[in-house]
Structure 1
Amino acid sequence: MALAPEYTLGATRSSHRWTEMPGNWDRLNIRALFPSSNPWGIPDLPPAACEPARLLPYTDRRAVAAAGPADAVHFFLDDYRFETVWTKPERGLSRCASVGSALTPDFSLWTTMPLVMQQWQVYRSRWCGAWLLAHGVTVIPTVSWSTPDSYPFAFAGIAPGSIVAVSTVGIVRDREARTLFADGYAAMCNRIRPSLVLVYGTALPTCTVGDTPVRSYPSRWAAR
């Protein structure tokens, strides 16, 4: 983890008199930059080998407090419910560290988003993973994509052979969404060749690609 010099951020004519940095001085989290081998600077994550017994929603404090050693935190939620993992990473670190393992945040990639915004969402997801990993949390990368235009960067930063996680929530009854998922899933398996895919929600027939093993976890809606 490379730390950027604080004096290069938000400098003003009076900044030399600050006793501490303002609360919102680093909204882009430039203070912690991580190694990257891709053109977008998306942080690289090492291969994950953790297969959680359960996936616990980040927002469920009771479940997190009662987590077992084989559980992991997930972020398959509305984005606003876990935005603080990016804006206040120390807070996200605290909750994930209490469990010990976490999936990376699943920041949404909408097909209507400009590609640069989609790239930013992927960057944020990997950055949060690298941040957690640097502080001792076991990390499993979550993968998401939109159209084929997103494939070049959607899988960036994930090591070949890693365990990865995906979600099928919200696509089962949407034909176009199922097609986009199937195409992207096949592209992911071809690019990453994951050792195991953790599927949050219904494991669709399209989740069977070659000999890639799959483990499904019930969504919080199905579990009710």
Structure 2
Amino acid sequence: MTNFENLDKAIFPGVGPYGIPEIEPVTEYPSGDFIPMNYAKSEKHPEGKNVHCFVDDYQFIRYWNNPDTYIPKLRQFRSVCAPDFSTYIDMPAAMQIYNHYRKHWLAAYWQFHGMTVYPTISWSTPDSYSWCFDGEPKGGIVAVSSVGTQNSTESKRLFLRGYEEMIKRLSPPWVIFYGKVPEECDWNIICVKPHQDSIAERRRVKREEEGQAVGPA
């Protein structure tokens, strides 16, 4: 097999017209904090944390380009979410499907290497429903992001319609949710705080502790 698009490493059984690799459901409720994928390599205490990919694609493309390099580190975490390769509505359909395939190939590869992998679900327009749920497991916990989808009436409408379709097709017991949670989605949600908010909170606590240690002049 030619060393091309990771086909030399694995070819997984595919579903749907595009042969999307199938991934297994995860029903275990995630414990511990979530950190973005671009902080995974430097994380000193991975055993108590989970990793999400709700960052710009360039921040995690290396995990696709060199998947074996990062397996040892990722296996140290409690869980990882499947990579959120973009499926923007203004992208050509072929690029969206390619990104959906890459997401599932990496998720299946990580599961093959013993990781707990939560499916990350994404969609664009209703036309994408014919393939964007291929390979996704039913009845397990899933992850989604609303970032960039709540800025206009139309983008919010498309997000909510896809979210409703996801619930109908996959029946997830819980949804790991990154970004603003619309009122229509506020059910069985596991909220993931932006990493910068956690950093700011730790800095605030540290300043307060240092102030208490110094005491009044």
Q: Fold-level match, TM-score > 0.5?
A: yes
CA contact (8 A) 1:161 1:194 kept: yes
Q: How far apart, in 2, do the equivalents of 1:91 and 1:74 lie?
A: 18
Q: Deviations over 1:65-89 (max 9, x none)?
A: 22344x2111111100100111111
Q: TM-score, normalised by structure 1?
A: 0.81
Q: Does 1:220 align with 2:195?
A: yes
Structure 1 or 2: larger helix share?
Answer: 2
Seq. identity, %: 35
- Aligned AA for 1:30? L
How far 1:48 moved relative to its partner?
Answer: 1.1
Q: Tell me, which stretches of 5 or more residues in structure 2 are unaligned?
A: 201-217
Distance 1:175 1:222 in 2: 27
The residue number in structure 2 matching 1:55 is 34
The AA in structure 2 aligned to 1:102 is V
How far is 1:176 from its partner? 2.4
Secondary structure of 2:58's match? Answer: helix
The alignment status of 1:38 with 2:13, answered yes or no, reads no
Q: Which has the higher contact order (CA 8 A, sep 6+)?
A: 2
Q: Is the 8 A contact 1:64 1:73 kept in 2?
A: no
Q: Give the equivalent residue in structure 2 for 1:145.
A: 123
Unaligned runs of 5+ in 1: 1-5, 10-25
Letter in 2 for 1:58: M
CA RMSD, aligned part only? Answer: 1.8
Contact 2:47 2:76 in 1 (8 A): no
Asked if 1:85 is matched to 2:55, the reply is no
Runs (4+) of structure 1 exceeding 3 A deviation are 221-224
Alignment partner of 2:165 out of 166, 171, 187: 187
Task: Give the TM-score of the pair, scaled to structure 2.
Answer: 0.84
Helix, strand or coil: the match of 1:95? helix
- Aligned residue-pair number: 197
Q: Distance in 2 between matches of 1:121 and 1:57?
A: 19
Return the letter of the residue paired with 2:13. P
1:167-182 alignment to 2 at 5 Å?
Answer: 167-182=145-160
1:134 aligns with 2:123: no
CA distance in 2, matches of 1:76, 1:207: 18
